[in-house]
Structure 1
Amino acid sequence: MRINRRTFLAGFAAMPLAMPALKRAQAATPVVAASLLGDDKPETLVWMHIRDQVERELPGRFAFNIVPNAALGGEKEVMEGVRLGSIQASLSTLSNLSAWAPQTQLFDLPFLFRDAAHLEAALEGTCGGDLSEKLALEGIVAPVFVNYGARHLLSREPLLAPDDVKGKRIRVIQSPLHAQLWESFGAHPIALPITETYNALSTGHVDTMDLTISAYAGFRLYEVAPQTTLTGHIHAAGAVVFSGRFWAGLDEEARSVLQKAAIEGARHFNALMAVDEKTSMKIARENGATFHEVAERTAWEGPARKVWESFAGQVGGMERIEAVAATACRA
């Protein structure tokens, strides 16, 4: 019998990490939820939504402490805290999670997804079905996936064609896939946490980077990188995550309520992101940003396609990649 995400997470407490279940009569269980962005951004609002839903189902059972503005560190630091149990919950891109589960890189392959619907169909289908199991083995419980939006190329000067990227110093996330992607265009990747990108761009330590429009506005990067080329080369997937140590210490009722709230929260997040992207683009334009459409998309896709072949062995083979590209992964 195939283990689905619901039965897998329900059985997580049977792992060696399990601790005695907390009683409802005890004091509220603290939940530190880390967010990289401010109170008005979907990354933070989603935790308010989850908190409120959980409180309706289990009044007084949990005490959420939602910490915004990357006060607990960048993505990598937060996920290390999640694995240790010092942080109980957060969102994370699959790019970041690839440090612990390389299979997540399947959803980071450039120019693999046509649009948000294509990405979400693949994540909900069989091609995304085993990612939660891989992550749980690393102490990360991921009951549901989210869509952060497409990543685009932003820079201090216009980069309108692939040749314009050659020789540029580009900030990348700490991922071999992202480094290789931009090396294929002749750029020089420099891995930096998102919290260091504003200074890196303002001082010229890097010339360019890629990011979603929502995060572009959220970190006010239009002030130091006012040119954005709408490449949409990666549709950034992520997950709602909980600490495995925290999760294993909960009773079945609490896990069920949190899982249900996370799934509903993911739908809420995706809707918020769609609205926030439009708002963020408007804010960026009002603050001097210029957005450039891609004239020759195939010119960008050619070099990027080589990344598929390089990472096929780590993500399940070219057949699986092609299945995702053809939307052949079904629930």
Structure 2
Amino acid sequence: MIRKLTAGALLSALMVVAPFLIADQARADDPIVIKFSHVVAENTPKGQMANKFRDLVAERLDGKVVVEVYPNSQLFNDNQVLEAMLLGDVQMAAPSLSKFGQYTEKLQIFDLPFLFKDMAAVERFQNGPAGQKLLTSMEDVGLLGLGYIHNGMKQLSASKPLLVPEDARGLKFRIQSSDVLQAQFEAVGALPVKKPFSEVFTLLQTKAIDGQENTWSNIYSKKFFEVQEHITASNHGLIDYLIVTSDEFWKSMPDDVRAEVDKALAEAIAHGNKVAMDKATGDRAKIAESGRSTIHELTPEQRAQWVEVMKPVWAKFEDQIGKDLIDAAVESNM
């Protein structure tokens, strides 16, 4: 028998169900929040890229998506952020490429010494099939790369001119924690010393180490040029960042919204990379104008010597990185 609800019973039922219907509708109308965590100041290329992304999303998504930027490690540092991302505590970050070692060995390609001759070669590789394929190299652990943001090419500085590999023999160089970078200096008979970035100036000033490697912007902003008599414009390595998100979060967005977010991010990356290029050029000029350090240019023949000495380092990590990737990187120099 079908029983008819009285008006009072129907009203009571609606009163019970209505709050849940209203809550569901409110959740559907809530914006998608992207917490973007990074570790540097807002005036850096990475910081300016993140803020540009936030502003473009606000301008184009009409409140459907809100980007919250947290600079200066306000939420997490680069050693914490990837785990936090997998837990859903943050949706985007841009750690240094060297921070992904526990998730994939393939990104070590960007640490290989004297592999790329300049930033144009780096961009050809990153924007080509091999570099784009690397963005998905961590999907099996739930991380998805969205693009590369530049800091710049690394240069060598030391207490003496470094023109050919033999010039580095016996010198102590500060390095980040990286098996590739350790092998790089050992290949030329130098002594790699793993020390925090914050200690480099004092180590150079007190002669506890003889040299270091860094981008023009870091050499200028941290005043390394004031305590290093010689800088070689070697372009021997790269300090870049990978913009990364959770694969689950990225795919949870509606297709049309995700497409607009992706477009805004691409424009923000282009903006940040132009800032990085301009800063590298400007800071190099400031170092030259200071007269505190002599900048040495490598001739093609001198650079060829460095490349030849470093090829065994490429071979040492070939199984981890993949010969196909290394070959594609070499081709990007053509």
TM-score w.r.t. the length of structure 2 is 0.78
Contact 2:103–2:138 (Cα < 8 Å) also in 1: yes
Q: Are residues 112 and 252 of structure 1, via their aligned partners in 2, closer, same or farther at CA, if it must alter by over 3 Å?
A: same
Quote the Cα distance in structure 1 between the aligned partners of 2:87 and 2:69: 17
| Partner in structure 1 of residue 258 of structure 2 | 255
Q: Are residues 77 and 229 of structure 1, via their aligned partners in 2, closer, same or farther at CA, if it must alter by over 3 Å?
A: farther
| Partner in structure 1 of residue 317 of structure 2 | 311
- Displacement after TM superposition at 1:254 (Å): 4.5
Amino acid at match of 2:294: T
Amino acid at match of 1:26: D
Gaps of 5+ in 1: 1-19
SS at match of 1:285: helix
| Partner in structure 2 of residue 104 of structure 1 | 107
Q: Percent identity?
A: 25
Residues 118-171 of structure 1, C-alpha deviation per residue, up to 9 Å, x if partnerless? 222222222123212222333432112234322111234543432232222222
- Displacement after TM superposition at 1:115 (Å): 2.7
| Partner in structure 2 of residue 322 of structure 1 | 327
Quote the Cα distance in structure 1 between the aligned partners of 2:205 and 2:77: 19
- Displacement after TM superposition at 1:84 (Å): 5.0
Residues 8-46 of structure 1, C-alpha deviation per residue, up to 9 Å, x if partnerless? xxxxxxxxxxxx9x946336726143133x332212111
| Partner in structure 1 of residue 38 of structure 2 | 34
Q: Are residues 311 and 189 of structure 1, via their aligned partners in 2, closer, same or farther at CA, if it must alter by over 3 Å?
A: same
SS at match of 1:148: strand
Q: Are residues 24 and 310 of structure 1, via their aligned partners in 2, closer, same or farther at CA, if it must alter by over 3 Å?
A: same
Residues 91-142 of structure 1, C-alpha deviation per residue, up to 9 Å, x if partnerless? 2333332342101123332222233232222222221232122223334321
- Displacement after TM superposition at 1:266 (Å): 1.8
Quote the Cα distance in structure 2 between the aligned partners of 1:143 and 1:32: 13
SS at match of 1:92: coil
1:142 aligns with 2:145: yes
- 1:151 is aligned, of 151, 154, 169, to 154
Q: Are residues 26 and 133 of structure 1, via their aligned partners in 2, closer, same or farther at CA, if it must alter by over 3 Å?
A: same
Quote the Cα distance in structure 1 between the aligned partners of 2:71 and 2:31: 21
Q: Are residues 54 and 203 of structure 1, via their aligned partners in 2, closer, same or farther at CA, if it must alter by over 3 Å?
A: farther
1:177 aligns with 2:180: yes
SS at match of 2:95: strand
Contact 1:85–1:245 (Cα < 8 Å) also in 2: no
Q: Are residues 133 and 320 of structure 1, via their aligned partners in 2, closer, same or farther at CA, if it must alter by over 3 Å?
A: closer
Quote the Cα distance in structure 1 between the aligned partners of 2:223 and 2:252: 39
Kindly report which structure 2 residues correspond to 1:8-157, keeping only aligned pairs within 5 A, or say none.
23=27, 25-26=29-30, 29=33, 31-36=35-40, 38-60=41-63, 61-68=65-72, 75-79=78-82, 81-157=84-160
- 2:306 is aligned, of 260, 277, 300, to 300
Contact 1:44–1:66 (Cα < 8 Å) also in 2: no
- Displacement after TM superposition at 1:244 (Å): 4.9
Q: Are residues 191 and 76 of structure 1, via their aligned partners in 2, closer, same or farther at CA, if it must alter by over 3 Å?
A: farther
Aligned residue pairs, count: 306
Gaps of 5+ in 2: 1-23
1:268 aligns with 2:271: yes
Amino acid at match of 1:66: Y
Quote the Cα distance in structure 1 between the aligned partners of 2:295 and 2:106: 33
Quote the Cα distance in structure 1 between the aligned partners of 2:122 and 2:57: 28
Contact 2:85–2:91 (Cα < 8 Å) also in 1: yes
Contact 1:47–1:66 (Cα < 8 Å) also in 2: no
Q: Are residues 320 and 58 of structure 1, via their aligned partners in 2, closer, same or farther at CA, if it must alter by over 3 Å?
A: closer
Q: Are residues 159 and 267 of structure 1, via their aligned partners in 2, closer, same or farther at CA, if it must alter by over 3 Å?
A: same
Q: Are residues 194 and 146 of structure 1, via their aligned partners in 2, closer, same or farther at CA, if it must alter by over 3 Å?
A: same
Quote the Cα distance in structure 1 between the aligned partners of 2:222 and 2:84: 22
Q: Are residues 260 and 49 of structure 1, via their aligned partners in 2, closer, same or farther at CA, if it must alter by over 3 Å?
A: same
Quote the Cα distance in structure 2 between the aligned partners of 1:98 and 1:170: 22
SS at match of 1:272: helix
Q: Are residues 99 and 280 of structure 1, via their aligned partners in 2, closer, same or farther at CA, if it must alter by over 3 Å?
A: farther
Contact 1:172–1:191 (Cα < 8 Å) also in 2: yes
- Displacement after TM superposition at 1:261 (Å): 2.0
Q: Are residues 25 and 118 of structure 1, via their aligned partners in 2, closer, same or farther at CA, if it must alter by over 3 Å?
A: same
| Partner in structure 2 of residue 201 of structure 1 | 204
* Greater relative CO, 1 or 2 (CA 8 Å, sep 6+): 1
Q: Are residues 220 and 87 of structure 1, via their aligned partners in 2, closer, same or farther at CA, if it must alter by over 3 Å?
A: farther
Quote the Cα distance in structure 1 between the aligned partners of 2:214 and 2:80: 19
- Displacement after TM superposition at 1:49 (Å): 0.9
